[in-house]
Amino acid sequence: MALPQVDPSEYENQLNAKQTRMQALFARFNPPEMELFRSPTENYRMRAEFRVWHEGDDLDYVMFEPGSKHDKYKLTECPMVDRRIADMMFPFLEALRGVKELRARLFQVDFLATLSGELLVSLLYHRKIDEAWVEAARPLREQFGIDIVGRSRKNKLVLDRDYVFETLTINDRPYHYKQTENSFTQPNARVCEQMIEWAIDATADKEGDLVEFYCGNGNFTLPLAQNFRQVVATEISKDSVRAAQVNIEKNGIDNVAILRLSSEEFTEVLQGKLTTRRTAGVDLASCDFRTVLVDPPRAGLDELTIKQVQGYQDILYISCNPETLAENLELLCQTHRIERFALFDQFPYTDHIECGLLLKRNEP
């Protein structure tokens, strides 16, 4: 993806264009009035990944034009990223440039920052790294006050943590999240806070229990637990499940269970077609699931999962791809209607759109 052209004077025009596009795409489903949630116009990305280009003794961050592996341009600034990343990324690159052990066959630098001030930098290599790399990287850790991870094929070295702790303020309450390097987290923290607050409001009057697919590190799970008797959530990534378990304990929440299962596996468990020891300790038979939360990848929901979620009274659907969401709604709206409709501008100055819907089952 090419670097967005950050121009705060054009922000409202571009946001209006996204709103118009969404209204046209979903008009056939007769949604209610769209709720619009804005992003900061600069320094809004907490995660950023940059390719590194070697040219003689030069070392630069580059971006490639969409669809091209050759048409690149050098970065000299990056106003889209969190202020701490923006302030250190070029001095950090200059420091890498002067250390052969750190720059040799380096091809990418990833940054993960938090609103709470922590910063983790990952260096990705096309060669094996070893203890010599650790000794070369340690002075940079001290110089910039960061944690550093080095990764190459089947190899990972950590100075001194491979995670950060983020604090999001949700309706004036702080929630603390372990965010692990190379695992998914919402990139725009300020918009993420708004998304969670919207989800809490959308489910405020719901009864029974909540079941969640694709829960990640518990980003929505933990704040939403206040609206339900109990919550059972699933996630396939081991790192995300481990982080979610830490986050449950760190936030003092006692009505959430996390299961490491894919959406397909969990659907089969709920339908009685699969038995697995991964559900040990969770009494699914006692659960009264009336609301389901899904936050799928860009491909959307598979048909098996769609059929499963159609069985619940309320569906909270968070989507990072309006096109696959619209495809899913062709089936979901056979049984449900849209009650809430929101656009979250996670990615200003790009065509990417994040949205949220609350669907309620039609009366028989």
CB-based contacts of 5-14 (< 8 A; 24+ apart in sequence) = 5/349, 6/41, 6/42, 6/79, 6/80, 6/348, 6/349, 7/349, 8/41, 8/42, 10/349, 11/38, 11/41, 11/348, 11/349, 14/348, 14/349
Q: Which two tokens stand for residue 247?
A: 């986050």
Per the CB < 8 A criterion, the answer to whether 229 and 255 are in contact is yes
Confidence of residue 2 (pLDDT cuts 50, 70, 90): low
Judged against a pLDDT cut of 60, whether residue 139 lies above it is answered with yes
- For the domain that residue 128 is a member of, what is the CATH number? 2.40.50.1070
pLDDT tens digits for 266-285? 999 988 899 899 998 899 99
Q: Which two tokens stand for residue 157?
A: 């070295």
Summary mean pLDDT of the chain:
94
Q: Tell me, yes or no, whether 251 and 109 share the same domain.
A: no
Q: Tell me, yes or no, whether 193 and 315 share the same domain.
A: yes
SS3 22: helix
Query: What is the residue-wise DSSP string for 241-285?
Result: HHHHHHHHHHTT--SEEEE---HHHHHHHHTTS---GGGTT--GG
Q: Tell me, yes or no, whether 106 and 220 share the same domain.
A: no
Q: Tell me, yes or no, whether 145 and 289 share the same domain.
A: no
- Between helix 131-144 and helix 83-97 the angle, nearest 10°, is 140
Active-site residue identified among 339, 354, 355, 363: 354
- For the domain that residue 247 is a member of, what is the CATH number? 3.40.50.150
In one letter, which amino acid is 142? E
Q: Tell me, yes or no, whether 230 and 307 share the same domain.
A: yes
Of 76, 79, 48, nearest in space to 60 by CA: 76
Residue 320 annotated among the catalytic residues of the structure: yes
Judged against a pLDDT cut of 50, whether residue 96 lies above it is answered with yes
Q: Tell me, yes or no, whether 315 and 197 share the same domain.
A: yes
The pLDDT assigned to 64 comes to 79
pLDDT tens digits for 191-225? 999 999 999 999 999 999 999 999 999 999 999 99
pTM for the complete prediction?
Answer: 0.94
Of the ranges 61-65, 121-125, 293-297, 347-351, which is most confident?
Answer: 121-125
Residue 82 resides in a domain = yes
The pLDDT assigned to 340 comes to 98
The residue range of the domain holding 111 is 47-164
pLDDT tens digits for 155-186? 999 999 999 999 999 999 999 999 999 998 99
Phi, psi torsion values for 265, nearest 5 degrees? -65, -45
Number of domains in the chain: 2
Confidence of residue 76 (pLDDT cuts 50, 70, 90): very high
Judged against a pLDDT cut of 70, whether residue 3 lies above it is answered with no
Residue 180 resides in a domain = no
Judged against a pLDDT cut of 60, whether residue 1 lies above it is answered with no
Per the CB < 8 A criterion, the answer to whether 181 and 108 are in contact is no
CA distance 346 to 189: 9
The pLDDT assigned to 4 comes to 73
Q: Tell me, yes or no, whether 276 and 330 share the same domain.
A: yes
Phi, psi torsion values for 23, nearest 5 degrees? -60, -40
CA distance 320 to 355: 7
Residue 354 annotated among the catalytic residues of the structure: yes
Please state, as a whole number, how many other Cβ atoms lie within 10 Å of the Cβ of residue 220. Answer: 26
Question: Taking the C-alpha atoms of 234, 38, 47 and 249 in order, what is their torsion angle to the nearest 10 degrees?
Answer: -40
Residue where the block lists tokens 């378990």: 245
Of 195, 179, 103, nearest in space to 140 by CA: 103
Cis link prior to 160 (omega < 30° from 0)?
A: yes
pLDDT tens digits for 58-71? 899 998 777 667 77
Active-site residue identified among 320, 323, 330, 363: 320
Confidence of residue 342 (pLDDT cuts 50, 70, 90): very high
